[in-house]
């Protein structure tokens, strides 16, 4: 028996017992089988279509001083007891430039497919939590607020880890330095991670909220969670965005 697979099997067993206790065991098995091949995977193909419009940039902003950045990333996520492969790309698009000599950013959009928690009927969908700052410095590569939607048998649509009022706040540190893939269009790759954030208890999950919290060991303190991403960013001046 593989040691690497034991945590996933233990989590699956604990979750199955909890769902059976809640009367949802049969539905869990059926949903897990039916949904195995139906995840959305369009995030990697969005390109520059989610760039903020010129009208969304600061008033009187000169497009010549602005560019759109379209990022995709894969990697791994740990939230409490859940180990989640980010094996389908997350996509984030934003604009950055200067306005009256000051650096500014305008968020565009985030898209992500549901990510299956191995061995369970649960999926986790990362969602934008309302705050971002992608200007890197000597301390960090950027900051980002996320919530993590939970879907599975018996879970209502608003079920999540983190909420608009209490999102998960990431401070992303560089693990691999930027490397230029192509100069025109400018494409850069790099690695980031955060293993210091806290994960709150679930919210909006109805009667199964306490069950999920117990099985997933939420809330989870700082240092017990991790996200690691390999990112690829394509950049274009606003005069070239299509």
Q: Residues 193, 116, 40, CA angle at the centre, nearest 5°?
A: 95
* pLDDT the model gives residue 101: 86
The ranges of the chain with pLDDT < 50 are 1-2, 17, 20-42
* pLDDT the model gives residue 12: 57
Rg (C-alpha) for the chain, rounded Å, is 19
* pLDDT the model gives residue 218: 97
Give burial (CB, 10 Å; 0-12/13-18/19+) of 3.
exposed
Give me the residue label for tokens 């549901």. 114
Give burial (CB, 10 Å; 0-12/13-18/19+) of 33.
exposed
Q: How far apart are CA 146 and CA 232, in angstroms?
A: 19
- For residues 13 and 28, the answer to whether their CB atoms sit within 8 Å is no
* pLDDT the model gives residue 119: 87
Q: How far apart are CA 75 and CA 228, in angstroms?
A: 6
Per-residue pLDDT tens for 46-95? 778 999 999 999 998 899 999 999 999 999 999 999 999 999 999 999 99
* pLDDT the model gives residue 38: 32
């Amino acid at each position: 028996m593989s040691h690497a697979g034991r945590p996933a099997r233990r989590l699956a067993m604990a979750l199955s017992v909890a769902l059976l206790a809640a009367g949802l065991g049969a539905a869990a098995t059926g949903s897990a089988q039916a949904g195995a091949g139906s995840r959305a995977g369009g995030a990697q193909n969005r390109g520059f279509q989610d760039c903020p419009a010129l009208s969304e940039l600061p008033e009187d902003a000169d497009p010549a001083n602005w560019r759109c950045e379209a990022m995709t990333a894969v990697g791994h996520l740990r939230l409490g007891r859940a180990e989640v492969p980010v094996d389908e790309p997350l996509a984030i698009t934003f604009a950055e430039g200067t306005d009256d000599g000051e650096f500014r950013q305008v968020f565009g959009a985030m898209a992500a497919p549901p990510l299956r928690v191995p061995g369970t009927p649960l999926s986790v969908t990362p969602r934008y939590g309302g705050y971002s700052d992608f200007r890197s410095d000597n301390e960090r590569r950027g900051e980002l607020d996320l919530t993590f939607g939970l879907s599975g048998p018996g879970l209502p649509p608003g079920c999540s880890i983190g909420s608009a009022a209490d999102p998960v706040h990431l401070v992303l540190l560089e693990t691999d330095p930027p490397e230029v893939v192509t100069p025109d269009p400018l494409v850069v790759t790099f690695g980031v991670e955060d293993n210091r954030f806290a994960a709150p208890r679930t919210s909006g999950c109805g009667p199964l909220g306490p069950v999920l919290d117990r099985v997933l060991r939420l809330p989870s303190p700082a240092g017990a969670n991790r996200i690691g991403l390999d990112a690829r960013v394509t950049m274009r001046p606003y005069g070239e965005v299509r």
